[in-house]
Chains A and B, each alone.
Chain A
Amino acid sequence: MSKFLLSVVQTMIERFELEERTFRDETTLMVSPENIVEVCRTLHDEFDFNMLASQTAVDYWPQEEPRFNVVYQMHSLPQNVYLCLRVPVPGKNPTVPSIVEVFPNANWHEREIWDMFGIRFDGHPDMRRILMPYEWEGHPLRKDYPLGYEEVQFTFNFDEIDLRKPYVKE
């Protein structure tokens, strides 16, 4: 860890009482949902973390509680360091405050997380589906969502499946 990153991590841990994990070269801070906007604003204003490299979510069902983790990758372009933030979110009515005012590019990332996982973001100006069709029900990347495959048509079952396939005539 570089000196700059070390100092950033120390300050953040003291100020917000976070937990730190390191794996190989990646430093992760566990943040609670109430603090995330403050943490991002501090990183952006004070410590020059001017780029939100990516924002995704992970579903750990059924192995871990809380079920979802929203993952933010922060990048500081002047200092060339990466910092990862994780926000554990429970499975019932998952909500996280939106960081759109701090990093405007989080707009589409948060829409994708809503579409794929069902995690709502408070304060997001335009919460609707971005990858699936607009009236789709369900959140595909959750672990309890079915794969949605259809039976493969080989020569031995060709005719049975052919009867069931929804061809369109005109």
Chain B
Amino acid sequence: MGLEQKLGNMGVVTTTLEQAVNWSRTRAMWPLLSGLACCAIEMMSAQASHYDMSRFGMELMRASPRQSDLLIVAGRVSRKMAPVIRRLYDQLPDPRWAIAMGDCASCGGVFNNYAIVQGVDEVIPVDVYVAGCPPRPEGLIHGILTLYDKVQRESITTWK
């Protein structure tokens, strides 16, 4: 009521810097175009037209880590690949997030042995874990929306 409503009628909106920046970060978050194994197929199909991810802001996937915000670890990470994933994550500029997609990235999945890293959170800090083997495209989209909720709740003191 009052001032804000009158301003709204004139086309002016007031908000806090925190809410505005968090809103803009969620509305155009571009993931890195890289997948490792079977979950990558589901990630591709989530990006394609049937289960479009562009309607949530992920208009395209960037091939270069320097130009993307989000690293979706889609697939099993072997011991040989772990330093590579770490380097990719280090090359993402702030603000950056990571989603562990699928069972193998969350906890090692079916592969409980010497060659597969048991959960990519031994290598990079993960924000959202998506379960499934592989998770359906809707499951991945649910994980992305959960990440968006998490980003919306970020506070101005924890930004980097």
Contact = CB atoms under 8 A, between A and B. Distances in A.
Nearest to A133: B80
B108 interface: yes
Interface in B73-130: 79-80, 107-108, 112-115, 118-119, 121-125
A147 B122 contact: no
A140 B114 contact: yes
Given A150-B108, A153-B107, A168 B125 contact: yes
Contacts of B123: 168
A78 interface: no
Interface residues of A, number: 19
Q: Which 9 A-B pairs have the closest CB atoms?
A: A148-B114, A149-B112, A133-B80, A148-B113, A166-B122, A150-B118, A133-B79, A167-B121, A149-B113
A168 B122 contact: yes
Contact count band on B: 10 to 19
A108 to B, nearest CB: 15
Main SS at interface, chain B? loop
A170 interface: yes
A148 to B, nearest CB: 3
A150 B113 CA distance: 7
A150 B125 contact: no
A15 interface: no
B121 A147 contact: no
A132 B80 contact: yes
A150 B80 contact: no
Given A150-B108, A168-B123, 5 more contacts: A132-B115, A133-B79, A136-B79, A140-B114, A168-B122
17 contacts: A132-B80, A132-B115, A133-B79, A133-B80, A140-B115, A147-B113, A148-B113, A148-B115, A149-B112, A153-B107, A165-B119, A165-B122, A167-B125, A168-B121, A168-B122, A169-B125, A170-B125
A102 B119 CA distance: 43
